[in-house]
Structure 1
Amino acid sequence: MSLFGKVKNTINLLKNIDLDQLAKINEQIDLTEAMNTLGQLDERQLKGLMKMLKTKRRKGQADLPPIDGDFYNLDLKLTQEQRDLQIKVRNFMEDEVRPLINDHWNRAKFPFEIIEKFKKLNITGVPYEGYGCPNLPFLMEGIIAQEIARVDVSISTFFGVHSGLAMGSIYLCGSEEQKEEWLPKMQRLEKIGAFGLTEPNVGSGVAGGLETTCKFDGENWVINGQKKWIGNATFADVIIIWARDEDSNQVKGFLVKKDNPGFKAEKMEDKMALRIVQNALITLTDCKVAENDRLQKADSFKDTANVLRMTRAGVAWQAVGCARGAYESALKYTKKREQFGRPIASYQLIQNHLVEMISNLTSMQTLCFRLSELQDEGQLEDEHASLAKVYCSMRMRDVVSRAREVMGGNGILLEYDVARFVADAEAIYSYEGTKEINSLIVGRAITGYSAFVS
């Protein structure tokens, strides 16, 4: 019998009994074991248990297994401290974010009210050492990305841009003075960051030549150009801007503040995906930046690539979270939705879709788990991160498609969540390197030949 079954039987038997009956009950059920099991359940599990107890079953119907996308029990590989943090983030997303997310997604508005609540989680800058950061393994950064994306990919993107790309740029490329100035405030979410690399005419080809330029005039750096698709940029306090030096032709990074003269950020409208993310078109017109706001350790695109390598694993974990959210939503739906007098989960064709989904999801999870282990061991290479991004984003697409399919017409309604996952999956599929670009990175690693156009 499952642990949930033992607890359920115990609770049912304990109803309306007197002390004389306890001995007889103990002969049927180990009360100590059952109550210890009950005491180990977290708040989310207890709520699920109480809901299960209140649910009326048909006569003869067996207890249904819980809805859980971790089929291979990878959570058991986490330490208790890590598991507690995972549950803490999951509960936050369920209690504080899920109730409001569809409304904000529909209106393309960011729920600024959650930032204050986010601060209490203390999960910003997870893998960094010092500056108030938790300094936890990269694995936990991935687990957190999964848990956030499991409820909403937009919030996961906001968090990844701020904690990963923006803070990561300062952590890897900034001077000690710049780190001391920005990282503690960003860790506490007192200052919000953005990352400006992609341009209107330059996406996959950023390594070959940015159109945004910078030039030192003897006193300040003068930046001209545009950046597109820059998440958080409409409200960020600091934006990491990457530009090509007109004199050296090398890429440099800058800390551009929202009140810098010559800086303008316009919200991008009419997106079909990541509608909560406040993407901006940034225009820099003779934007002056002081030398002490130039990232002192960013001297070429290789330094930019180091930031992207560090954060690409997080994007693969986002794909896992998106797929897991869609799968669990679909599984929950198929257990409740009835056709021809039975839950549709009891039909062969539906079960085939669900098995395909959990197969994809499990392979994604195990791949990302090993990817994060490589990162924690200091063995992560570009091709490792790229393979994960390619594979997970493709399998994610398949999972969300099947989730929508088993829900029929209801799959396109926001109230069932899967429609949002379907749309947001398209953004994950493209950002942080398209399938084609990441495939060429892996191809170069396994063949020894570069197929990039020179």
Structure 2
Amino acid sequence: MRGNRAAQLGSEAQDKYLPSLSKLHKVCAYAMTEPEYGSDASSLNTVARKVPGGWVLNGRKRWPGNSSFADVLVVLARNTSTNQVNGFIVDGGSPGLKISKIENKVSMRIVQNCDIELENVFVSDDDRLPGANSFQDLVNSLAFSRVMAAWVSIGIAVGVYDACQRYLGERKQFGVPLAAFQLNQEKLVRMLGNIQAMWLLGWRLSKLHSSSKMTIGQASLGKAWITKQARETVALGRELLGGNGIVTDFHVGKAFCDLETVYTYEGSYEVNALIVAREITGISSIRPTTSRL
């Protein structure tokens, strides 16, 4: 709720949630995406209606990670009085809150993504985020989460590189280690080059954020470009392992699948690219026209 210098969206009273969350004694999930609204999250349908002493929430959410066992959820809902998107802290055991795990995932299987239904869920006035009075307020506070996603993809890429370097030195074909073949060496070098460049951009964005100079476009650039390069890097690693690249025993196949999730969440590559383009050109092309030429 609070940043390193000032409150972000929350109130002083809501700081009570932080000690247990920071120590992982309790878990929080963030509920923004809906079944019909992913990239177009600002059009969300979940509504919050003012009642004496608080708010009543109705709607559906999809994909919040670890929400099946979350103690609290931060839910984005449209204020029926102002038509603006606001934020609400919802207790995980609230009456009217129904949570079901999304089955048959092939990527990031350790994360429990869920479908959520809110049917007349009551939230007290004390648990409305006072600083979240519009969708833009929420977007500004979440910019660094895109940098965090970029760092996740860097970590995955580094793990794949390390696994491939060991594998090429140990696995022999035609009587010599796979590391002796020129094509394999070139792929390994390309992976290392990608990682170094990704690392430097991630470091730069972290420094900009720590000095409160990072823009939304810069965060989107980092998320879009770094995850794209990480995707190429793990694909090269999967090639280097041949058939062993698709089994979980060697970890690379799992990492290959997991990165597909990181590439998509916190805004797809395309959406983040358009956010960057809007910042550098001053022209927004995110909302296309439906009229025909």
TM-score > 0.5 by shorter chain: yes
How far apart, CA to CA, are the structure 1 residues paired with 2:253 and 2:90? 36
Deviation of 1:407 (Å)? 0.5
Look at both structures and tell me which one has the larger radius of gyration over its CA atoms.
Answer: 1
Q: In 2 relative to 1, CA 126–449 (structure 1 residues): closer, same or farther, beyond 3 Å?
A: closer
How far apart, CA to CA, are the structure 2 residues paired with 1:348 and 1:366? 27
Give CA deviations for 1:35-64 in whole Å, capped at 9, x if unaligned: xxxxxxxxxxxxxxxxxxxxxxxxxxxxxx
Aligned pair partner of 2:85 in 251, 271, 283 = 251
Q: In 2 relative to 1, CA 289–436 (structure 1 residues): closer, same or farther, beyond 3 Å?
A: same
How far apart, CA to CA, are the structure 2 residues paired with 1:447 and 1:189? 42
Q: 1:306 corresponds to which residue?
A: 140
**Residues 1:362 and 2:200 are matched in the alignment:** no
**Residues 1:174 and 2:10 are matched in the alignment:** yes
How far apart, CA to CA, are the structure 2 residues paired with 1:203 and 1:435? 13
What residue identity is the alignment partner of 1:183?
L
How far apart, CA to CA, are the structure 2 residues paired with 1:347 and 1:414? 25
What residue identity is the alignment partner of 2:14?
Q
How far apart, CA to CA, are the structure 2 residues paired with 1:311 and 1:289? 25
How far apart, CA to CA, are the structure 1 residues paired with 2:2 and 2:197? 25
Deviation of 1:127 (Å)? 6.9
Q: 2:21 corresponds to which residue?
A: 186
Q: 2:291 corresponds to which residue?
A: none
Deviation of 1:310 (Å)? 2.3
Indicate the RMSD between aligned Cα atoms, in angstroms.
Answer: 1.6
How far apart, CA to CA, are the structure 2 residues paired with 1:285 and 1:223? 7
Q: 1:320 corresponds to which residue?
A: 154
Q: 2:37 corresponds to which residue?
A: 202
How far apart, CA to CA, are the structure 2 residues paired with 1:391 and 1:230? 24
Deviation of 1:379 (Å)? 0.6
How far apart, CA to CA, are the structure 2 residues paired with 1:408 and 1:384? 36
- Give the TM-score, by structure 2 length: 0.95
How far apart, CA to CA, are the structure 1 residues paired with 2:241 and 2:41? 40
Deviation of 1:218 (Å)? 2.4
Q: 1:260 corresponds to which residue?
A: 94
Q: Note the 1:368-379 alignment, pairs <5 A.
A: 368-379=202-213
Aligned pair partner of 2:267 in 422, 425, 433 = 433
- Give the TM-score, by structure 1 length: 0.62
Give CA deviations for 1:215-274 in whole Å, capped at 9, x if unaligned: 012233111111100101000100000000111001111110111111111011100100
How far apart, CA to CA, are the structure 2 residues paired with 1:288 and 1:416? 48
Q: 1:87 corresponds to which residue?
A: none
SS at match of 1:274: coil
Deviation of 1:129 (Å)? 6.3
**Residues 1:446 and 2:280 are matched in the alignment:** yes
How far apart, CA to CA, are the structure 2 residues paired with 1:393 and 1:365? 11
How far apart, CA to CA, are the structure 1 residues paired with 2:128 and 2:243? 52
Deviation of 1:126 (Å)? 11
Deviation of 1:319 (Å)? 1.1
Give CA deviations for 1:75-123 in whole Å, capped at 9, x if unaligned: xxxxxxxxxxxxxxxxxxxxxxxxxxxxxxxxxxxxxxxxxxxxxxxxx
Q: In 2 relative to 1, CA 427–126 (structure 1 residues): closer, same or farther, beyond 3 Å?
A: farther
**Residues 1:339 and 2:173 are matched in the alignment:** yes
Identity of aligned residues (%): 40
How many matched pairs? 288
SS at match of 1:379: coil
SS at match of 2:8: helix
Would you tell me which structure has more helix in proportion to its own residues? 1
What residue identity is the alignment partner of 1:345?
A
Contact 2:2 2:8 in 1 (8 A): no
How far apart, CA to CA, are the structure 2 residues paired with 1:256 and 1:126? 18
How far apart, CA to CA, are the structure 1 residues paired with 2:201 and 2:116? 36
Unaligned runs of 5+ in 1: 1-124, 131-170
How far apart, CA to CA, are the structure 2 residues paired with 1:395 and 1:448? 26
How far apart, CA to CA, are the structure 2 residues paired with 1:419 and 1:236? 29
Give CA deviations for 1:337-384 in whole Å, capped at 9, x if unaligned: 011111100110100110111111111011111111111121100111
SS at match of 1:203: coil
What residue identity is the alignment partner of 1:341?
G
What residue identity is the alignment partner of 2:239?
E
SS at match of 2:244: helix
Q: 1:330 corresponds to which residue?
A: 164
